[in-house]
Amino acid sequence: MLVVYHCSCPLKSRLAAGIHAGRLPPQLPGRREVHAAVAQLAADSETAMDLIRGLPGLHVAGHDSAGAMVLAMGTGAPAWLTAQALGDFQVLLGARWPVLSCRLRDLPGFVQVLADLLAARPIARGRRLRAVLLSWVLRKAWLEAAAVAARARGLAAAGAGADGTPAVDTVAEMQ
Amino acid sequence: MNVVFYCYGGAHTSVTAANIYLGRLPIRRRASYHEILSQPGFDVAPHAQVGRLLPMGVDPFGNRVFCIGLGAGRLRLAAALAQWCAILGATDTQLALCNALVAANWAMRIGGFLSRRCGWVLLGRPLVTLGTWVAFPHMSRMVTHARACLIRPGQPQDPWLRPGVDAPAAVTDNRLEPEPMARAGFWGDCHSPDLRARTEDDHGQGATAHHTGGYPE
């Protein structure tokens, strides 16, 4: 099974995928732990600058306890658009495995602008400021990502997607 | 091979490129205003269709041609979708993504925005059609390049280069099979229950389990 988290923010999608894969704790940690999570996300990416520049493309976060491959996709596009494109390409090509597509709620506008600004070189140049801003973004997104990841883990363990039936709307529950 | 032209909204630039590719619009001359306006799928897809694959037809090699709108982050999203398809098992010979928006001009962007996003069709459609007419030579060159990239070694000839087949009237002669494209639902003949079940207004869906039921031939 494939579990893919998608959101406009690459940080948030990687955060949810990391929680699902068991690499990050589901509870909101303290500031130091969030700093450590930022470092871990950076270490998971190809280079640390990939994290700052917006993490283009698809990221494989690992496998969960049930053996499902967990992916994260955050491209800056709205989550509903990404969800439609993912589904249509999956049908077009014919996937060999069932797919659980988990849509995260897009970040508020000003947070997204801040996350985008992190990609700019003048701001990204200062390491301390960058870490503080990234940690703030992650703290804003942590609880929702953890809730969606917990629900997706349950759905994945129950074999959702194997029969083609749509899963429950996790975003609506969060709202 | 699945050839996918993508642009911002999937209603003008990619549709025109796909129709040029399929031979429904001329590639050696500039299409007229009326030809551009009457091409199938032009200025039809609503904004809710962004992110949806729109089937345009089958080329002489048997390649299926699609259009899709990927919004503002189309380059990054296209790269991510290519990786997604690779994870799903697709090879380089199964999927080709072509950015059609490189040929667009500001008249097309403004006209398309007015027509599709704002719903001001009376104002936007003539403007986007005029912009397409202006950009048509550029689009023809882009499609010519795309065709050249997709021709496989060992094929005897390029069927598009046969005289007389690169005009809209020759669509029925060059064995192309345009798919039915009604305004309400491009997937009307789709045999996949997964796609058929989805409606245009499903933006509220969160976690959706997709399962492949095969793609209709």
Flag whether residue B164 sits within 8 Å of chain A, measured between CB atoms: no
What's the pLDDT tens digit per position in B57-73?
998 888 899 999 998 87
Q: Which residue of A has its CA nearest to B54?
A: A88
Chain A residues within 8 A of B212 when measuring between CB atoms: 90-91, 94-95
Instruction: Read off the pTM.
Output: 0.73
Interatomic CA distance for residues B55 and B195, integer angstroms:
13
Chain B residues within 8 A of A9 when measuring between CB atoms: none
Interatomic CA distance for residues A105 and B157, integer angstroms:
50
Q: Which residue of A has its CA nearest to B82?
A: A57
Interatomic CA distance for residues A15 and A41, integer angstroms:
8
Q: Is B94:B1 a contact under the CB 8 Å cutoff?
A: yes
Is ipTM strictly over 0.85? no
A174, pLDDT greater than 50: no
Query: What per-residue confidence (pLDDT) applies to A86?
Result: 86
* Mean pLDDT for the stretch of residues B26-42: 92
Percentage of residues in chain A with pLDDT exceeding 90?
0
Chain A residues within 8 A of B46 when measuring between CB atoms: none
Average pLDDT over all residues of chain B: 72
DSSP state of B161: G
Highest mean pLDDT of the ranges A33-37, A168-172, B139-143, B194-198: B139-143
Query: What per-residue confidence (pLDDT) applies to B194?
Result: 35
Tokens 């729109």 correspond to what residue? Answer: B54
Tokens 């899963």 correspond to what residue? Answer: A167
Flag whether residue B194 sits within 8 Å of chain A, measured between CB atoms: yes
Number of Cα atoms under 13 Å in the Cβ half of residue B89:
10
What's the pLDDT tens digit per position in A30-60?
877 777 776 666 555 544 444 444 455 677 8
* Mean pLDDT for the stretch of residues B173-201: 31
Cβ–Cβ gap A81/B70 under 8 Å: yes
B166, pLDDT greater than 70: no
Chain A residues within 8 A of B71 when measuring between CB atoms: 77-78, 81
Nearest to B209 among A75, A80, A161 (CB): A161
In 3-state terms, what secondary structure has residue B129? helix
Shortest Cα–Cα distance, B118 to chain A (Å) = 18
CA-based diameter of chain B, in Å?
51
Q: Which residue of B has its CA nearest to A89?
A: B85
Sign, CA torsion B146/B147/B150/B152: negative
What's the pLDDT tens digit per position in A61-90?
888 888 888 888 877 788 888 888 888 888
Close Cβ partners of B203 (under 8 Å, ≥ 6 residues apart): A80, B48
Cβ–Cβ gap B208/A87 under 8 Å: yes
Cβ–Cβ gap A169/B206 under 8 Å: yes
Instruction: State the pairing for strand pair A2-7/A99-103.
Output: parallel
Cβ–Cβ gap A98/B209 under 8 Å: yes
Nearest to A90 among B68, B88, B203 (CB): B88
